[in-house]
Chain A
């Protein structure tokens, strides 16, 4: 393994600024790591020349004494972000020939701050999935227990596998119902979903517009803060973008948790959760207590309805968003006898099974006669779920839960769609309420797979989320490296 791969984002940033090594050297180390770990299937597109050009500019900036917050740091981008002139497929066959003519706001923010782009990372098709198995180009392997072929989680499975295998220093992800936090948990890294509205959705392939939110996947909580600092910000091109300045998260690192109140919801310890996760949940609670936090039992009574609400609202919004793939303006067209036939063949052929299933569910629940019974009902229960959080956050500052009920499952293990959906049980509620959440690794289960804990904060309290997560991070001292990491 190149010695340069051992530096995390914050450490590498410091080292580059101190001229211990150059961005070109670091970028080359990552390009080599990408080649060494190519059997994982994390990358869909590698942009070596582009990366080295960006790295050269960074090196020149540093020698000129100019340095932006992410100067010279090589990162990967989930294929849901449109990148100008670089193929963007959302892991779908229907976008197999799509080269955006514009750049998403979030990725533009990263390049403006000096980050170096390594390439595009695989994900579930249109971010619909929890295992990365719905990707048109095939599975991504989790770098942990490589011989057992376990899922990296999803939908940001490529992003999580790349960071965990040290073939990207950090990566972007998107989270609709857990798509950053669940893969981060499965791959033993940190994943942060910001408050809805923190990061602009402009230029991100739309899945479920009232839920989609971009965020970072990184090795450490501090790294996530550095990434989010650059990714977040008001954007008038996204009508739901929050016109609220985020404090510089770097000013709030290592602030501790003394006197903070942590809620433990009784609904998150139900059957079906693995013993090892329960054990680490209890341990995490004691760590926070030892660090001076007050632990308070709370109740989120509508938690069990979060998944059914999600599996109405997300497919409904998806069916509407995905209507744009018509084989006329972009994407792969399949010719038919007439216009309707062309639409049906283009979409029938271009979308994978899970995407078609969700379009069907979404179209059904929005169709005449069923709208009130399903869609409106789900929106009403969504309000009750949000009210549960509002009530609890009157009493506590943060909520601690496991990130997932089990550690990573084997690829091909969950064939039934519903069984797969149940994996998001702990991440979906915060998504529906628009709240920020972070998953970080706290230990390994008996088989050697990472366990993630989730902290949820009040809307727009990313500052508190970061410093509380750092307390857990320090107590857990998780310093294991995946066996499938770059060597």
Chain B
């Protein structure tokens, strides 16, 4: 699996930043690239551990996700939902224009 891992370069940083919708200033990209490589090489020590017959552990609780009836439990709180919006109009969130 090690061959799946590569060293992160600035092009990768650009790609990841785009996926994460993070604006990274040009001046800090080199430093960030180095830091990410340091962290990734630190976590790469997991390669030493034999895990071929081990199931991944996503939750420690061991219980099944509880289900409830599909019923309306609240609502009519439009004002509360919009209260913290940076921009709102006529009961809607406002975003920059997306259709030309």
Given contacts A329-B93, A339-B96, A348-B23, contact A418 B86 (CB under 8 A): no
In contact, A373 and B1 (Cβ under 8 angstroms): yes
- Chain B residues with CB under 8 A of A99: 83-84
In contact, B54 and A383 (Cβ under 8 angstroms): yes
The CA-CA distance from A343 to B32 in the complex, in Å, is 20
Given contacts A328-B93, A331-B84, A433-B60, contact A357 B35 (CB under 8 A): yes
- Chain A residues with CB under 8 A of B81: 101, 329
- Chain A residues with CB under 8 A of B42: 307-308, 311, 418, 421
- Chain B residues with CB under 8 A of A304: 45
Chain B, Cβ-Cβ closest to A363:
B20
- Chain B residues with CB under 8 A of A332: 86
Given contacts A330-B84, A338-B96, A372-B1, contact A349 B56 (CB under 8 A): no
Chain A, Cβ-Cβ closest to B79:
A101
Given contacts A311-B43, A329-B85, contact A418 B38 (CB under 8 A): yes
Q: Say which one of A27-35, A177-185, A374-382 lies at the interface with B.
A: A374-382
A281-311: CB near B (< 8 Å → 1, else 0) gives 0000000000000000000001011011101
Given contacts A197-B61, A361-B36, contact A377 B86 (CB under 8 A): no
What secondary structure prevails in chain A residues at the interface with B? helix
> Does chain A have a CB within 8 A of B58?
yes
Given contacts A364-B8, A386-B57, contact A101 B20 (CB under 8 A): no
- Chain B residues with CB under 8 A of A360: 13, 16-17, 20, 22, 32, 36
In contact, B5 and A347 (Cβ under 8 angstroms): no
How many A residues, CB 8 Å from partner?
Answer: 75
The CA-CA distance from A332 to B54 in the complex, in Å, is 43
Given contacts A338-B98, A344-B23, A370-B5, contact A357 B84 (CB under 8 A): no
Chain B, Cβ-Cβ closest to A211:
B60
- Chain A residues with CB under 8 A of B5: 370, 373-374
In contact, B57 and A379 (Cβ under 8 angstroms): yes
How many B residues, CB 8 Å from partner?
Answer: 55
- Chain A residues with CB under 8 A of B84: 97-99, 101, 329-331
- Chain A residues with CB under 8 A of B56: 376, 379-380, 382-383
Given contacts A210-B59, A328-B95, contact A239 B22 (CB under 8 A): no
Shortest CB distance A418–B (Å)? 6
Given contacts A360-B32, A379-B56, contact A369 B49 (CB under 8 A): no
- Chain A residues with CB under 8 A of B96: 335-339, 341-342
> Does chain B have a CB within 8 A of A246?
no
- Chain A residues with CB under 8 A of B85: 328-330
In contact, A361 and B39 (Cβ under 8 angstroms): yes
Chain A, Cβ-Cβ closest to B52:
A380
B44-85: CB near A (< 8 Å → 1, else 0) gives 111101010011111111010110100000000100110111
- Chain B residues with CB under 8 A of A373: 1-2, 4-5
- Chain A residues with CB under 8 A of B10: none
> Does chain B have a CB within 8 A of A319?
yes
> Using a CB–CB distance below 8 Å, which chain B residues touch chain A?
1-2, 4-5, 8, 12-13, 16-17, 19-25, 32, 35-36, 38-40, 42-47, 49, 51, 54-61, 63, 65-66, 68, 77, 80-81, 83-87, 93, 95-98
A sample of 5 cross-chain residue pairs with beta-carbon separation below 8 angstroms, ordered by A number, consists of A308-B42, A328-B85, A339-B96, A364-B16, A418-B38
- 4 smallest A-B Cβ distances: which pairs? A348-B23, A434-B60, A379-B56, A330-B84
Given contacts A339-B98, A372-B1, 6 further A-B contacts (CB under 8 A): A309-B46, A328-B95, A329-B84, A376-B56, A378-B46, A416-B38
